[in-house]
Amino acid sequence: MKKYVSLLKGTKLFSGVGDDDILSMLNCLNAAVREYDKGEYAFRQGEYIRDLMILAEGRLHIQKEDYWGNLNILNEIRPGEMFGEAYIAPNSGTLMNDVIAAETSTVLFFDTERILTVCPSACPFHTLLIKNMFYTISDKNKSLVRKLSYMSQRSTREKLLSYLSDEAKRQNSSSFSIPFNRQQLADFLSVDRSAMSGELCKLRDEGLLDFHKSEFTLYEV
Amino acid sequence: MKKYVSLLKGTKLFSGVGDDDILSMLNCLNAAVREYDKGEYAFRQGEYIRDLMILAEGRLHIQKEDYWGNLNILNEIRPGEMFGEAYIAPNSGTLMNDVIAAETSTVLFFDTERILTVCPSACPFHTLLIKNMFYTISDKNKSLVRKLSYMSQRSTREKLLSYLSDEAKRQNSSSFSIPFNRQQLADFLSVDRSAMSGELCKLRDEGLLDFHKSEFTLYEV
DNA sequence: TCTTTTTTGTTGTAAAAACAACAGACTTGC
DNA sequence: GCAAGTCTGTTGTTTTTACAACAAAAAAGA
């Protein structure tokens, strides 16, 4: 377990917890480790999950196969990321997706019940852990809502405007940079790259905004 | 405060807590009440929020105005619903949306810090409350991810198929009913109703599925 | 510096969606 | 049972998007 302490120190879940305390918490929480070969299924649709997981090494894909067999990669998990938090409620049903190792991967398992049930004296950092876990899920929630607000726009143009407008607000400036290149932005907004590129230029020609690479500036009317 | 006990008893947050205990918890949590007139802003974009809120009476709209002034209603909050959970983390920044009372509304405020910091002896239901809060956010998270997986499909057809396929899985049957009429389903998936209606009929003619009103059946191949 | 690769903008075409308008089926209230 | 209203499917037109293919610009590597 000791080898994972430095990784965990950098995660949101254990932020603010010292090395020694992390180690004692891993015991307190009944943490387990499991390794998956490349291409191996970590979890399958229909399974029950109750633990909370953190990816230690490797890369996982959250995939979904629909009724007619069409495959869809929903998300990629990278080291340090927490997952499974959507299934901790007792009545949350079975897993809706497959989780497959895109590379050989190591996963840490935490007993949710132990996290949420405070041990009265033994573990002084338990309250901090609960808060961290809360903040992490809360943050995830917020970014999901945000993304959903872009995606629910009907046209590429509206998606772009709502995203860029939001970024300007978030960064509190009409000039700002985005963490995507064109292809990544198109993927993020679920639109076609070339169509999006064209739309961006149209918006620029209409005088609504300007850009150079990933630097954008919005203009009033 | 007493008048809100019966409402709270029905919420996810207080599920499993008895009447008397709810009342004592309201004190323990430093709960506050505030009423908003119809049309009044409960919160504005840019404000800091740290409390967790539950709507007791009325109806709230979560709205967003973009850089160029276009208005967008993102969500409607109904009595018993919790909101503000995306902003409980200390570094979660300021509110990205406006919250406005669509009707005269009563809101209960809970101190997040007090919820997350366990009082050692005074309040026996505190652990239960923490769990409930967790489960609630976790559930919300799950439904957001689910919706996002439909919305990230490019075409109306794919959105329909992914949604219906998912419902069949959830209800564990190729025949199932959905909680939407056509207009609501179109709004949920952010597509045009008439185009969606046409697409549904096309899918039926192709032999992929069948439907009567809100009852659907999926066919293999 | 020169070459190779990646990124971005551009164009034309085919497919799909939005929009509008309407008619029949179904509900609801009286 | 009737009238008013809502819900659903249908059609035609306009707009938008996806797709494919390519060229210029920028970045990365040798």
Which nucleotide is the nearest neighbour of B180, by CA and C1'?
D7
- Length of chain B equals 221
Contact status, residue A42 vs residue A101, Cβ threshold 8 Å: yes
**A61 and chain B in contact, CB less than 8 A:** no
Identify the structural domains of chain B with CATH numbers, from first to last. 2-145 (2.60.120.10), 153-218 (1.10.10.10)
**A221 and chain B in contact, CB less than 8 A:** yes
Q: How confident is the model at residue A75 (pLDDT cuts 50, 70, 90)?
A: confident
Q: Which of A194, A195, A117, A180 is nearest to A147 (CA)?
A: A180
Of A39-43, A67-71, A197-201, minimum mean pLDDT range: A67-71
Whether residue A221 is predicted with pLDDT greater than 80 in this model: the reply is: no
Whether residue B112 is predicted with pLDDT greater than 70 in this model: the reply is: yes
pTM value > 0.85: yes
| Contact across the interface for B170 and A93, Cβ inside 8 Å | yes
Range A30-45 average pLDDT: 93
Whole-number pLDDT of residue A120? 57
The residue whose two tokens read 């949604």 is B163
User: Cα separation of A147 and A150, whole Å?
Assistant: 5
Which nucleotide is the nearest neighbour of B196, by CA and C1'?
C17
Of A72-86, A118-132, B84-98, minimum mean pLDDT range: A118-132
The whole-angstrom distance between B123's CA and the closest CA on chain A is 13
Range A86-105 average pLDDT: 90
Residue B134: count of CB within 10 angstroms of its CB = 20
Contacts 24+ apart (CB under 8 A), A91-94: A91/B135, A92/B135, A92/B138, A92/B139, A92/B142, A93/B170, A94/A45, A94/A46, A94/A47, A94/A48, A94/A49
Is the CB of residue A181 inside 7 Å of nucleic acid strand D?
no
Range A67-80 average pLDDT: 84
- Residue A50 exposure: Cα atoms within 13 Å on the Cβ side: 8
Q: How confident is the model at residue A185 (pLDDT cuts 50, 70, 90)?
A: very high
Q: Which backbone phi and psi does B68 adopt, to 5 degrees?
A: -100, 5
Range B204-212 average pLDDT: 92
Write out the two tokens for A16: 């603010």
The whole-angstrom distance between B174's CA and the closest CA on chain A is 9
What confidence tens digit (pLDDT) does each residue in A196-208 have? Answer: 999 999 999 999 9
% chain A with pLDDT above 70: 96
| Contact across the interface for A135 and B89, Cβ inside 8 Å | yes
Whether residue A179 is predicted with pLDDT greater than 80 in this model: the reply is: yes
Whether residue B45 is predicted with pLDDT greater than 70 in this model: the reply is: yes
Among chain B residues, CA nearest to A117 = B127
Which residues on chain A are in Cβ contact (under 8 Å) with B152?
Answer: 74, 151, 190
Q: How confident is the model at residue B122 (pLDDT cuts 50, 70, 90)?
A: low
Whole-number pLDDT of residue A102? 85
Which residues on chain A are in Cβ contact (under 8 Å) with B145?
Answer: 74, 86, 144
What angle, 0 to 180 degrees and rounded to 10, lies between the N-to-C axes of helices B156-170 and B193-205? Answer: 70
Across the interface, which of A89, A133, A146 has its CB nearest the CB of B96? A146
Write out the two tokens for B202: 């096309």
The whole-angstrom distance between A171's CA and the closest CA on chain B is 11
Whole-number pLDDT of residue B47? 94
What confidence tens digit (pLDDT) does each residue in B141-179 have? Answer: 999 999 999 999 989 999 999 999 999 999 999 999 999
Whether residue A74 is predicted with pLDDT greater than 90 in this model: the reply is: no
Of A115-124, A153-162, B138-147, B180-189, minimum mean pLDDT range: A115-124
Is the CB of residue B199 inside 7 Å of nucleic acid strand C?
yes
